[in-house]
Each structure stands twice: as C-alpha cells, then as structure tokens.
C-alpha cells in the first residue's frame, strides 16, 4: 500500500477486521454494537510522543482516511 511507504516511522497502524457470518445475523438492536451489515471494520491508528510530529502524523492519517472513503 502506497500509504505505508509514506507513513511516519513507528506508531502508524491499519487494522482491518472482516465481519459477516454470525456477526451479521444478530439484530442491530440486540447488543450495544450496531452496524452489523458492514463487511469490514477499519481502524486507523497514529501514535506519537513528540509534539513536533503532530502535523505530519495527523495529515498522514487524514489523507489515508480520505483515500478509503467510498466514491
């Protein structure tokens, strides 16, 4: 993925979890977790401790979020 080539070093992760099956068979209002019709769960993580890196890391995360949005 081209975004990982541009990722700030360390602390940047993308987690993709596949849903469906038993998850999708539970009604949305049966538990505290809705949106069960989704095929995947996407988690973008950016962590850093140096405030000087904030702009770079936030920009990377936001640009990745924008890139994965439906057309």
Residue 30's alpha-carbon distances to 16, 24, 27, in angstroms, are 24, 12, 5
What pLDDT does residue 58 have? 94
All residues at 6 or more sequence positions from 9 whose CB lies less than 8 Å from its CB, including other chains: none
CA atoms of 63 and 48, how far apart (whole Å)? 17
Phi/psi at 18 (5° precision): -90, 130
Q: What is the pLDDT of residue 7?
A: 82
Please tell me the predicted confidence (pLDDT) of residue 4: 76
pLDDT value, residue 24: 86
Q: What is the pLDDT along the chain (71 residues), one digit of tens a residue?
A: 587 788 887 888 889 998 888 888 888 889 998 788 888 889 999 999 999 999 999 999 999 999 989 88
Q: Give dist(CA 59, CA 46) in Å, integer.
A: 10
């Amino acid at each position: 993925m081209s975004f990982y080539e541009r990722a700030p070093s360390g602390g940047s992760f993308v987690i993709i979890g596949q849903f469906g099956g038993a998850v999708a068979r539970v009604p949305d209002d049966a538990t505290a977790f809705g949106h069960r019709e989704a095929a995947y769960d996407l988690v973008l993580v950016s962590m850093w401790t140096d405030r000087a890196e904030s702009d770079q890391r936030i920009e990377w995360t936001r640009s990745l979020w924008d890139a994965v949005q439906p057309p």
